[in-house]
Amino acid sequence: MEIKDNTFARQFETTTASGLLAVEYSLQEKKIFLTKIHAPENYDDEDTISLFLSKIMAFAIENKFRVVPILPKIVLFFKKNPEYKELLPPGIRL
């Protein structure tokens, strides 16, 4: 899976068989706030969404960003994948 950082729209994007999958973000002081997931209508492939979020975490690690999950679905991803908890800023617990 290949992700694209669309800085103009402030979202990470990937194309699936069902359409465009995107995660909106806000960037502030080396922190990425993940705010919203845009998926095609009636899209429920949790494995693809999880893989997409893993790629975003790899991007954050590579660029030395901290990740602040705003959306409950992304918070759940962090709970299911404790290996990414070091990406959380100090003081944030899930």
pLDDT above 80 for 86: yes
pLDDT computed for residue 92 by the predictor: 83
Residue 15 has pLDDT above 80, yes or no: yes
Q: Mean pLDDT, the chain, as a whole number?
A: 92
pLDDT digits (tens, 9 = 90+) for 71-83: 999 999 999 999 9
- Entry pTM: 0.90
Residues 6+ apart with CB under 8 A from 2: 14
Instruction: Kindly indicate the confidence band of residue 94, based on its pLDDT and cuts at 50, 70 and 90.
Output: confident
The pLDDT of residue 41 is: 85
Rg (CA), the chain: 13
Instruction: Return the higher-pLDDT residue of 42 and 61.
Output: 61
pLDDT exceeds cutoff 90 at 91: no
